[in-house]
A and B are shown apart, each in its own frame.
Chain A
Amino acid sequence: MCVTCGCPTTVHAPHSHEHDHHHDHGHSHNHSHGEGTHYHDPHHDDHPDRAAARVLKVEEDILSVNNAYAEDNRRILKQRKILALNFVSSPGSGKTTLLARTLSSKRFTSAVIEGDQSTDIDAERLRATGAPAVQINTGRGCHLDAHMVGHAMGDLGIDKGALDGGILFIENVGNLVCPAAFDLGEAAKVVLLSVTEGEDKPLKYPDMFRAAQVMIVTKSDLLPYVPFDVGQCLANAQKINPAMEHLVLSSSSGEGFDAWLDWLDRARKAV
C-alpha cells in the first residue's frame, strides 16, 4: 500500500497469488443495494453507459496487496529465524512500557519497529534500552501495513542478518479496531488490555481479540484501585477467542513479568 506510506518506489513487488477460487453459494447472501447515499441516479437503466456495460470478473481480496507484502516479510523473518510479534491495543495500555522492561531484561537479541501517528517519542524511549528501534509515523493512517513494516525491516538491516535468531517487536498504532485487519508478517498478534480499561473490551472490540493469539492484561499493580474483574475479563476473551493464551502482569512492579519473559523464550525457540 504505497498510497498509505507515500513511498515512490516499490521495494519488493507484490506478486499475484494465483489460486482456485471456489465461491461458496451454499449459504444465503443478503444482497443489499441502493440503500446508501448515492451521488447519482440509482436506476441502472437510466445510465447512458449501462447498455454498453460488460461484467468483468475480478475475484480479488481487497487486502491482497497488503497480504503479499506480509508474506514477503514472513519469508525473510523465517529465513532469518526471527520471532516477530505485533503488539496491538488502545492508546496508553502500556505497550511501550512493556517493551522497555522486556528489552531491559537483556534476555534476547531484539529490535523494535514503532508505529505512531506522529512523533518518535516511543522509539526514543526504547533506544534508551540499547536496542535498535525504527519509528514509523503513519500520519493520517490509523494502522501499520505490511509495506511500511517491510521498509522498516530493511532499515534495521534484518534482510542482511542484523537480527538473526532474535525477536522483532512491532508496536502498532494505539487503536483497538483497525490494526486487526492488517497482517504484517508477524508470528502472532499480542493484544494488551490494561485494568483501567474495563473487562468488557473483548466483547466490545471482538475483531481485535479474535485476531490475537495472546492477550496480556497489563497494569496489574492498579488492581487494588479499580473495579476490574480479571476472571470476568478472561471469560469474555474466551467467549470471543477460545484458543487465545493470556498473561496478567505489571510493567511497573514487575509482577508476572518473568512468566512473560519465559513465554517469549519458548516462542522464540519454537521459530
Chain B
Amino acid sequence: MHEMSLCEGMLRIIEKKAQKDGFRRVLTVRVELGDYSGASEESLRFCFPVAAKGGIAEGAEMEFVYTHDRALRIIDLDVV
C-alpha cells in the first residue's frame, strides 16, 4: 500500500538529480528491488505513472533488477 509514498520518494530523488545534472526528461528508471524490501514490482509499476503525471518522469519506463536483500534503490536513469 505504501508504494505511492515510495514513488513520491523516487520522484524527489529524480527531481533533485534533474536540478543538479540538468536533464529535461526521464525515459527509464532502473530500480533495484530486494526480496525483503517490503515493496512489490507490480504495485510500483501501478503507482509510478500516477505519481509521475505532469512531471519530468511522466511516461518513463521502469526496469527492475532483483536482489535477495532489503534493497530498494534507484540504480540509474536514462535521461535526455
Q: Is the CB of B1 within 8 A of A142?
A: yes
Q: Is the CB of B42 within 8 A of A178?
A: no
Q: Is the CB of A54 within 8 A of B80?
A: yes
Q: Is the CB of B76 within 8 A of A32?
A: no
Q: Is the CB of A53 within 8 A of B74?
A: no
Q: Is the CB of A30 within 8 A of B66?
A: yes
| Contact residues in A for B64 (Cβ distance below 8 Å) | 31-33
Query: Which residue of chain B is the closest to A211 with respect to CB atoms?
Result: B38
Query: Which residue of chain B is the closest to A51 with respect to CB atoms?
Result: B80
Q: Is the CB of A178 within 8 A of B79?
A: no
Q: Is the CB of A27 within 8 A of B75?
A: no
Using a CB-CB cutoff of 8 Å, which residues 11-36 of chain A contact chain B?
A: 27, 29-34, 36
Query: Which residue of chain B is the closest to A21 with respect to CB atoms?
Result: B73
Mask, B63-77, CB within 8 Å of A = 1, is: 111111000111111
Query: Which residue of chain A is the closest to B6 with respect to CB atoms?
Result: A62
With A32-B64, A143-B2 already in contact, the answer to whether A65 and B27 are too (CB < 8 A) is no
| Contact residues in A for B67 (Cβ distance below 8 Å) | 27, 29
Q: Is A57 an interface residue (CB 8 A)?
A: yes
With A49-B80, A58-B76, A62-B72 already in contact, the answer to whether A3 and B27 are too (CB < 8 A) is no
| Contact residues in A for B68 (Cβ distance below 8 Å) | 27
Using a CB-CB cutoff of 8 Å, which residues 26-80 of chain B contact chain A?
A: 27-28, 31, 36-39, 41-42, 45, 49, 59, 61-68, 72-80
Most chain A beta-carbon neighbours within 10 Å: one of B38, B65, B79:
B38
CA distance A38 to B36 in the complex (A): 25
Q: Is A156 an interface residue (CB 8 A)?
A: no
Q: Is the CB of A31 within 8 A of B27?
A: no
With A29-B67, A31-B63, A49-B27 already in contact, the answer to whether A1 and B8 are too (CB < 8 A) is yes
Which of A39-47, A73-81, A103-111, A118-126 lines the interface with chain B?
A39-47
With A4-B8, A29-B66 already in contact, the answer to whether A56 and B79 are too (CB < 8 A) is yes
For this complex, 7 residue pairs linking A to B, each with C-beta atoms less than 8 Å apart, are A39-B49, A50-B27, A53-B79, A58-B74, A63-B72, A141-B2, A180-B38
**Among all A-B residue pairs, the 10 with the closest Cβ atoms:** A178-B2, A36-B45, A181-B38, A58-B74, A3-B8, A30-B66, A142-B1, A53-B78, A207-B38, A49-B80
The residues of A with any CB-CB pair to B shorter than 8 Å are: 1, 3-4, 27, 29-34, 36-40, 42, 44, 47, 49-50, 52-66, 141-143, 145, 175, 177-178, 180-182, 207, 210
